[in-house]
Amino acid sequence: MTPILPAWTEVDPALHARLGAAIDPDRKVLTALERITPLSGKRIADVGTGIGHYPMLLARRTGRTYGIESDPSLLAEAKRRAVDSHQPNIRIVEGAPTALPLRDGAVDIVLTSLIDPDDASLAAVSEARRVLRPGGRLIVIGHYGRDDVAALLEPEVVDHVMESTQRRTGWWLRHGFKIKVVHARLDLGDASTAHELLPRLFGDRGRAFLMGAHRPSLRLNLGLYHQAI
């Protein structure tokens, strides 16, 4: 859930659960993942899994999904959810993007939202490539911008996104990634959810948005930045 979360967002399993329901409720990201690479029978590592949102969604499609998380509270909640799901092909383990608890060539797909388009992320990219089998895919879920949510973010964050996605000169393309844009939405149809989430995520901008007339959902463009190994 990190693609549109401001850096100051607190680590809170309950917040992550609310966001899992509100961000991309139509599950367009899953459809786009299938178009990038077939998921059936594949081994997937979801790095920075949080409370295990994507492992839960992918469990019935994949051969094995590893949810990898470093924060203790999120890790504990992900493990609890995995047990409650009764999905034997989910494994929740502790690990960091630059030190994955997997052997070389262990998985077919690394899915993550923790790689920022900055050279400081190259160590995490290298580690993801290490655990991928030949022909595997690294897929990064990030904010593509040019949407309603961009108006709630800090201007420098939006500028960074725009610069990194430019044709030829953007960070993603310069480092061998292709870009697939997913036209998703942030669901605000439930008033109590909207009034809880937006101020917590976006501060004064979120509060100002709620004071005016607004639609029950915001356009949210996510980028699936992917490269084959």
Q: Which pLDDT tens digit goes with each residue over 75-106?
A: 999 999 999 999 999 999 999 999 999 999 99
pLDDT at 1 > cutoff 60 = no
- 19-23, 104-108, 140-144, 179-183: least confident range: 19-23
User: How big is the chain by its Cα radius of gyration, in Å?
Assistant: 17
Q: What is the pLDDT of residue 193?
A: 86
Among 141, 147, 142, which Cα is nearest to 220's? 147
User: Mind listing the domains of the chain with CATH numbers?
Assistant: 2-228 (3.40.50.150)
pLDDT more than 90, % of the chain: 83
At 44, list the tokens. 């997937």
DSSP state, residue 119: G
Q: Tell me the pLDDT tens digit for each residue of 33-76.
A: 999 999 999 999 999 999 999 999 998 889 999 999 999 999 99
User: What's the CA gap between 67 and 52, in Å, rounded?
Assistant: 6
Identify which of 222, 221, 223, 186 has the alpha carbon closest to the alpha carbon of residue 206: 186
For CA atoms 59, 60, 61, 63, the dihedral sign is positive
Positive or negative torsion for Cα 1, 73, 197, 6: negative
Task: Determine the Cα–Cα distance for residues 1 and 197; give it in Å rounded to an integer.
Answer: 13
